[in-house]
A = this chain, B = another copy of it.
Amino acid sequence: MMVDNLDKRKKRILQAIIQEHVISAAPIGSRTLSKKYEFEVSPATIRNEMSDLEDMGFLEQPHTSAGRVPSDLGYRFYVDEIIQAPELKFPQMLENIEDNYRDMQSIQDIITGTARMLSKMTRYTALVSEPSIQESKLQKVQVLPVAGKSLLIVMITDTGIVHNKIIKTEQDFTAKKLHYINQFLSDKLENKELAKLDPEYLVTIEEQLLAKIDISKKIFTEIYQEFKGINKPEDLKVYLGGTSYILDQPEFNDIERLKKVLNLLDQEKVLGKLINNNLSGADLEVKIGHENELEDMKNCSLVVATYHISDKAIGKIGVLGPTRMEYHRVISAVDLIADILGSSISKVSR
C-alpha cells in the first residue's frame, strides 16, 4: 500500500514518537523529542521528518499547532516492522504465574484465573474464551438415568472437555434399554469429529435408533440440538478480567467513548464473535483501531492469541486496550499466557 521501507532515521523517529505517546497519551512535538532522545539533528530537521511521516500516513496532527500522534497505520507499521523479538518474557513473573495455575482445579477456575492474571500482567482488559470443541473428537457419550423421567447426557471430547445436558422424556427406561442406547450412541458417535457431525448423518442414525427400539423422537432431537449449537463461535462463553483497567486510560475519560466500549464488553455474543471468529487462523493477531470491524472499537486495539491442546487450536485469549497500547509488552504476555493456558487445561482435563 505504501513505501514500506522508511529510512533508518524515520523509523527511529516513528518509534520514539510511539514510545513517548504510549507514556504520555499526548501529542509529541519535535522539541520534546530532540530533548529526550539523542538524535544528532536539530528539532527543525525532526520537524521535517515528522511532516514527511504525516504525509505517508503514519502520524496525525490533532490540530495545527499541536505535536504529532501516531495513526493506526503508524502503529501497524510499528507492530509489523519495528517490534523485535518478544524479548521480555516476564521471567520474574513466570514462577508466580505457574504457582497460580497449580491451585486451579477446574477448567472454569483456570479460565477465570487466566483472565484475571492476563489483565494484571498487562494492565489492560483481558478476554478468555472457553475452549471450543468444534475441532475435537467425541471421546465418550453416555446417557445416565436421573430421577423422574429425565436423562442426563454426558459428552467428553478427546481434549477432555465435558458437556452435559438434562433432557426430559415421557417414558421410563429399563437398564437394558439404556444400555442399548449407550452402546448405540458410542458406536455411532464416538471418535467422530464434532464439526463433521452433519445434520444428515444425525438424521440417519436417528432413524436407525428409532427403528431398533421404542424411544421417543424428542430425545434425539435434543441431542441433535446440542450438537448443532456447539459450533458457533459467538456462543462460546467469554470471560473478562480487569474491566476496570479501561478507566486508567486517559482516552476513556470521555464518558461517551467509555460507554461504547463497556457496552461491548456487556455483550457476550459480540465478544464471542470478535475473538473466536477465526479459530484456525494465525496464532497471533493484532487488530489496531479501525482495523476492527466494529465502529465502537475504533479507539481500541485487540491482541489475540490462540491456545492449543495437543497442537489442536482450541480457543482464544485476548487483550483489549486503547490503540495507544504497549504492543510489545502485551504481545509477549498474550503469547506466553496462551501457551501456559493450553497446557494447564490439558493437565486438569485428562
- The 3 A-B pairs with the shortest beta carbon distances in the complex, nearest first, are A244-B262, A244-B263, A247-B259
Residues of B with C-beta under 8 A to A162 = 152, 164, 166
Chain B min CB distance to A122 (Å): 14
This chain: copies in complex: 2
Q: Mark A117-137, 1 if CB is under 8 A from B, else 0.
A: 000000000000000000000
User: Could you tell me how many residues of chain A have their Cβ less than 8 Å away from some Cβ of chain B?
Assistant: 43
Residues of B with C-beta under 8 A to A146 = 139-140, 156, 160, 350
Residues 259-313 (chain A) with a chain B CB within 8 angstroms: 259, 262-263, 265-266, 268
Residues of B with C-beta under 8 A to A229 = 105
Q: Mark A153-185, 1 if CB is under 8 A from B, else 0.
A: 010101010101110100000000000000000
Q: Are B148 and A152 in contact (CB under 8 A)?
A: no
- Asked whether any CB of chain B lies closer than 8 Å to the CB of A3, the reply is no
* Best-surrounded residue of A158, A262, A265 (most CB of chain B within 10 A): A262
Chain B min CB distance to A346 (Å): 11
Q: Are A142 and B139 in contact (CB under 8 A)?
A: no
- Asked whether any CB of chain B lies closer than 8 Å to the CB of A349, the reply is yes
Q: Are B350 and A148 in contact (CB under 8 A)?
A: yes
- Asked whether any CB of chain B lies closer than 8 Å to the CB of A108, the reply is yes
- Asked whether any CB of chain B lies closer than 8 Å to the CB of A255, the reply is yes
- Asked whether any CB of chain B lies closer than 8 Å to the CB of A322, the reply is no
Of A26-34, A81-89, A235-243, the stretch lying at the interface with chain B is A235-243
Please give me the residue from chain B that is nearest to A264 by CB atom: B244
- Asked whether any CB of chain B lies closer than 8 Å to the CB of A106, the reply is yes
Chain B min CB distance to A219 (Å): 14
Chain B min CB distance to A123 (Å): 13
